[in-house]
């Protein structure tokens, strides 16, 4: 590698690199927001450069994903990560790699190989120059491993856990029965069966069934003993009190959707006469972010957008012809099969009139500080065995659609990146099999469209909501053909919007799933887009940042004729009655409402859900809870209105007590976005393991936040925002250079890099940066230019 650096007043900094593996020269222009615009002369070099570039910015993130994908976390964290590695290896794709890579794009194999070669080229540079390694490697005492195509197509980053839901539903049915459980859930469409399968003892379906499956997907968490330098370690007490909040291993049901929004607006409703497409995926907030902006240009390629850092291409963005975005369409893609095993040979399981033999695959797992462990992975005809109960002669296996060929998440975006029309977009969408998605399209010809994608199992004789026996009576009948998935082109309304809600057409004949997000975000989006106004870019921004609470608009009027028992609670009630329902960070009424809503939902759960079911059914769907409060019935007792009112006032008074303890008795000091209430603080994965002065160099925040889990600007429902839209795009089809985006906290994962956190404060304040597409605009905003040449041209 040779480096030539120059810059200053004469122009952007310039770097010359000579890299083994390139065929021709490549230019990368990094703009002032950290976006890399890659210009290559051929496809192989384009994706080589994409891999090389992402490794320069996100190498530690890539290494952690590599270890999760390959089941080698115990090699750096020791025995405590062994079960994670066993689970990861159980759930990995084991099919034909050539067929797999070819299923995403006609040139998929060449693209993926070029991408990993680029990552490895940078890793090779770090071995020659260790000072290039991010500081996390030194702190952990590790070096990055080389990438392979198998890592790119791994399934370790799956988004949905239907199997977890099945386990929780089984526990709830066991506790209160199917009919009472149905009353507490918002299952639709139709009336799915919650009756247990004949002969299945639900009392044996405990949380242990799903432990290994869950551990394989848990985010990594580091402890002080994992840090190689003792002087850098946090004390045990500091670590336990400041460790980042991690997702629960077992989500309650219905699962709380992280959710996403997208919408496409026809030119009939815009000032320019051409469409807008907006998308804001709601994912876990972390350092660095889960997506990365990049611009890819080569013969046959000119696409800009955000993608998973570990994948070639982009999953959300635009090319010369059109723009696209996605939200999760929650298809049930998993089932748990419960087997009776042979008491004399637990490797055999009852199937049909005889016994099936489990396949055993030995795996050697390296463990830090110990000898390697020889694990025996077991598989049935349905999939990996994730649980065995020798005492009851029982085993459980997982059947997952995403273990089929062609199901690496988001990799099918490669063909979407080259779509030039609605028909080409639809055809490319059909290659996406998991996760199941609402894909929206808008093009420069004025079209807007919606296409559902994903692999949908056909269950001929059961709903898929509960575990079933693995004895041949409950088999998938194949998969729904892509032509059977819903779609829509150029609707009369002039817009299309999705927000993970049930958006199946009323006459849709197929069963895809029954658990959806509450519709509040979708209803607010359609309220704004359907207002009849002509819209521009500022309207799109305002809608993505919208914090008007539709649940508040229904709940607060329930207090209209009530009286609180304390002057302070009465004063708070009066403040709510004149509130505008905006969950703004500075709003005192918003603080009162959110504290009241939380207490109200807790009290409603305790009043209505039997104690035996609360561990499994930890929350009520908000839309259902509001409906019950608006029209109380016998479930509230002999005097429903009075009991409902009692809960409303009790919850308000509890909320006032909470706010008083946090902020004092003066309501003027109560602000929703206070650091002690709704805020965002981002924790680096290592921060809980590091001493305080080092931790401050990695962590970011706190910053005030508005909104909640039901506003269009979804900031989640806890005090600290743990999920939401750090990545956003608004594509302006009239002029690509007017498109805007976000990606908090920044493009880089390196703490000392200026782009580690430069996009966080603008994001907190509702700001955007321009997504330049034309060469002229990109050059005008250039911060650095990197010129890469093949090593063979040296001299």
pLDDT computed for residue 155 by the predictor: 84
Joined tokens for residue 143: 């070096």
Tens-place pLDDT, residues 22-49: 999 999 999 999 999 999 999 999 999 9
- Phi/psi region, residue 8 (left: phi>0; alpha: psi -120 to 50; beta: rest), is left
* pLDDT score of 219 more than 90: no
Q: Does residue 156 sit within a domain?
A: no
37 within some domain: no
CATH label of the domain that carries residue 603: 1.10.1400
Residue 419: Cβ within 10 Å count: 21
In angstroms, the CA 46 to CA 35 distance is 15
pLDDT of residue 255: 44
DSSP-derived letter for residue 146 is P
Residue 499's closest CA among 531, 521, 527?
521
654: Cβ contacts below 8 Å, ≥ 6 apart: 599, 603
The answer to whether 332 touches 402, Cβ cutoff 8 Å, is no
Residue 623 lies in a domain: yes
Residue 266 above 80 pLDDT? yes
| pLDDT surpasses 50 at 651 | yes
Any domain includes 411: no
- Tell whether 213 is covered by a domain: no
Q: How far is the C-alpha of 356 from the C-alpha of 379, rounded, in Å? A: 11
Q: Which two tokens stand for residue 466?
A: 């509960």
What is the DSSP track for 635-683? GG-SSHHHHHHHHHHHHHHHHHHHHHHHH-S-GGG--TTSTTSSEEEE-
Backbone φ and ψ of 343, nearest 5°: -60, -30
**Residue in 203, 86, 156 with CA at minimum distance from that of residue 467:** 203
Residues written for the chain: 795
pLDDT in the model for residue 615: 86
CA distances from 224 to 218, 336, 464 (A): 19, 37, 42
Instruction: Give me the number of domains the chain comprises.
Output: 1
Residue 460 structure tokens: 């001929």
Contact call for residues 105 and 111 (beta carbons, < 8 A): yes
At 315-374, the pLDDT tens digits run: 999 999 999 999 999 999 999 999 999 999 999 999 999 999 999 999 999 999 999 999
Is 230 inside any structural domain? no
**Do 339 and 349 touch, CB atoms closer than 8 A?**
yes
Residues 6+ apart with CB under 8 A from 201: none
The pLDDT tens digits of the residues spanning 689-721 come to 999 999 999 999 999 999 999 999 999 999 999
Beta bridge partners of 89: none
Judge contact between 315 and 418, C-beta under 8 A.
no
> Per-residue pLDDT averaged across 671-691, rounded?
97
* Contacts with 131 (C-beta within 8 Å, 6 or more apart), sequence order: none
Report the Cα 397 to chain-centroid distance in Å: 25
Cβ distance 740 to 771 under 8 Å?
A: yes
Confidence of residue 11 (pLDDT cuts 50, 70, 90): low
Q: What are the E-state strand segments in 500-589?
A: none
Determine, yes or no, domain membership for 722.
no
Judge whether residue 617 has pLDDT over 70. yes
Q: How far apart are the first and last CA of the chain?
A: 13
**Does residue 630 lie within any of the structural domains?**
yes
Lowest mean pLDDT among 134-143, 171-180, 245-254: 245-254
In this predicted structure, the answer to whether residue 12 has a pLDDT above a threshold of 90 is no
Instruction: Give the integer Cα–Cα distance in Å for 415 and 402.
Output: 19
Of 243-257, 532-546, 779-793, which gets the smallest average pLDDT? Answer: 243-257
The arithmetic mean of pLDDT across residues 104-111, rounded, is 98
Range in 11-15, 257-261, 287-291 the model is least confident about: 257-261
pLDDT of 384 higher than 70: yes
| Per-residue confidence (pLDDT) for residue 249, from 0 to 100 | 29
Q: Does residue 623 carry a pLDDT above 60?
A: yes
pTM (whole model) above 0.85: yes
pLDDT of 75 higher than 50: yes
Beta strands 373-379 and 359-365 are: antiparallel
What is the predicted pLDDT for the residue at 243? Answer: 46
Q: Report pLDDT for 2.
A: 40
pLDDT for position 664: 97
Domain that holds residue 608: 550-581+588-669
- pLDDT score, position 240: 53
Token pair in block for residue 246: 């991690």
pLDDT at 616: 87
């Amino acid at each position: 590698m040779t480096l030539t650096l120059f810059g200053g007043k004469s122009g952007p900094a310039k770097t010359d690199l000579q890299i083994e593996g390139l065929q021709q020269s490549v230019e990368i222009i990094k703009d002032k927001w950290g976006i890399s615009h890659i210009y290559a002369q051929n496809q192989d070099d384009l994706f080589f450069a994409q891999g090389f570039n992402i490794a320069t910015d996100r190498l530690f993130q890539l290494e952690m994903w590599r270890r999760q994908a390959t089941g080698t976390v115990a090699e750096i964290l020791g025995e405590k990560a062994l079960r994670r590695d066993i689970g990861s290896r159980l759930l990995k794709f084991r099919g034909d790699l050539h067929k797999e890579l070819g299923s995403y794009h006609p040139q998929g194999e060449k693209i993926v190989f070029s991408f990993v070669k680029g990552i490895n080229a940078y890793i090779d540079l770090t071995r020659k120059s260790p000072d290039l390694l991010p500081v996390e490697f030194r702190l952990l005492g590790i070096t990055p491993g080389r990438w392979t195509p198998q890592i790119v197509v791994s399934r370790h980053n799956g988004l949905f856990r239907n199997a977890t839901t099945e386990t929780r539903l089984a526990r709830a049915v066991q506790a209160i029965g199917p009919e009472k459980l149905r009353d507490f859930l918002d299952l639709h469409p139709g009336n799915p069966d919650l009756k247990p399968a004949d002969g299945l003892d639900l009392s044996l379906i405990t949380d242990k069934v799903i432990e290994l499956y869950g551990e394989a997907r848990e985010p990594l968490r580091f402890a002080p003993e994992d840090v190689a330098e003792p002087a850098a370690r946090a004390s045990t007490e500091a670590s336990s009190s400041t460790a980042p909040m991690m997702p629960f291993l077992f989500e309650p049901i219905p699962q709380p959707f992280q959710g996403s929004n997208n919408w496409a607006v026809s030119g009939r409703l815009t000032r320019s006469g051409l469409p807008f497409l907006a998308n804001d995926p709601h994912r876990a907030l972390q350092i660095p972010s889960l997506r990365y902006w990049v611009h890819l240009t080569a013969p046959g390629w000119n696409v800009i957008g955000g993608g998973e850092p570990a994948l070639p291409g982009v999953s959300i963005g635009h090319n010369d012809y059109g723009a696209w975005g996605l939200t999760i369409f929650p298809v049930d893609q998993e089932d748990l099969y419960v087997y009776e095993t042979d008491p004399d040979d637990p490797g055999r399981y009852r199937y049909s009139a005889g016994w099936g033999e489990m396949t055993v695959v030995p795996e050697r797992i390296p463990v830090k500080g110990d000898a390697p462990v020889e694990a025996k992975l077991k598989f049935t005809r349905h999939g990996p065995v994730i649980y065995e109960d020798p005492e009851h002669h029982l085993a459980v296996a997982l059947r997952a659609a995403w273990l089929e060929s062609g199901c690496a998440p988001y990799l099918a975006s490669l063909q979407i990146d080259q779509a030039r029309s609605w028909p080409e977009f639809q055809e490319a969408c059909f290659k996406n099999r998991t996760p199941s998605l609402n894909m929206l399209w808008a093009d420069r010809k004025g079209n807007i469209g919606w296409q559902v994608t994903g692999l949908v199992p056909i269950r001929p004789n059961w709903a898929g909501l509960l575990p079933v026996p693995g004895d041949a009576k409950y088999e998938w009948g194949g998969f729904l053909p892509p032509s059977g998935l819903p779609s829509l082109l150029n609707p009369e309304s002039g817009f299309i919007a999705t927000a993970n809600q049930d958006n199946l057409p009323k006459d849709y004949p197929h069963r895809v799933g029954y658990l959806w997000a509450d519709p509040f975000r979708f209803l607010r989006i359609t309220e704004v887009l359907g207002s009849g106004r002509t819209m521009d870019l500022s309207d799109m921004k305002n809608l993505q940042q919208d914090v008007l609470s539709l649940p508040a608009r229904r709940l607060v009027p329930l207090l209209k004729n009530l009286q609180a028992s304390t002057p302070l609670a009465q004063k708070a009630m009066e403040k709510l009655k004149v509130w505008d329902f905006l969950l703004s960070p500075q709003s005192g009424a918003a603080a009162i409402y959110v504290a009241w809503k939380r207490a109200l939902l807790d009290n409603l759960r305790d009043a209505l859900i039997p104690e035996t079911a609360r561990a499994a059914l930890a929350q009520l769907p908000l839309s259902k809870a509001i409906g019950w409060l608006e029209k109380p019935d016998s479930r509230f007792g002999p005097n429903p209105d009075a009991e409902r009112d009692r809960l409303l006032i009790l919850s308000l008074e509890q909320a006032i007590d909470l706010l008083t303890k946090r902020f004092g008795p003066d309501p003027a000091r109560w602000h929703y976005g206070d650091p002690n209430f709704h805020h965002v603080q981002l924790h680096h994965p290592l921060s809980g393991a590091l001493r305080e002065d080092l931790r401050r160099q990695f962590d970011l925040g706190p910053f005030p936040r508005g909104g909640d889990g039901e506003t269009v600007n979804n900031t989640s429902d806890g005090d600290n925002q743990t999920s939401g839209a750090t990545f956003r795009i608004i594509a302006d089809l009239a002029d690509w250079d007017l498109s805007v985006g976000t990606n908090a906290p920044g493009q880089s994962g390196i703490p000392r890099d200026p782009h580690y956190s430069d996009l966080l404060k603008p994001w907190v304040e509702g700001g955007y940066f321009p997504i330049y597409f034309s060469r002229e605009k990109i050059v005008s905003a250039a911060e650095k230019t990197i010129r890469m040449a093949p090593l063979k041209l040296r001299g």
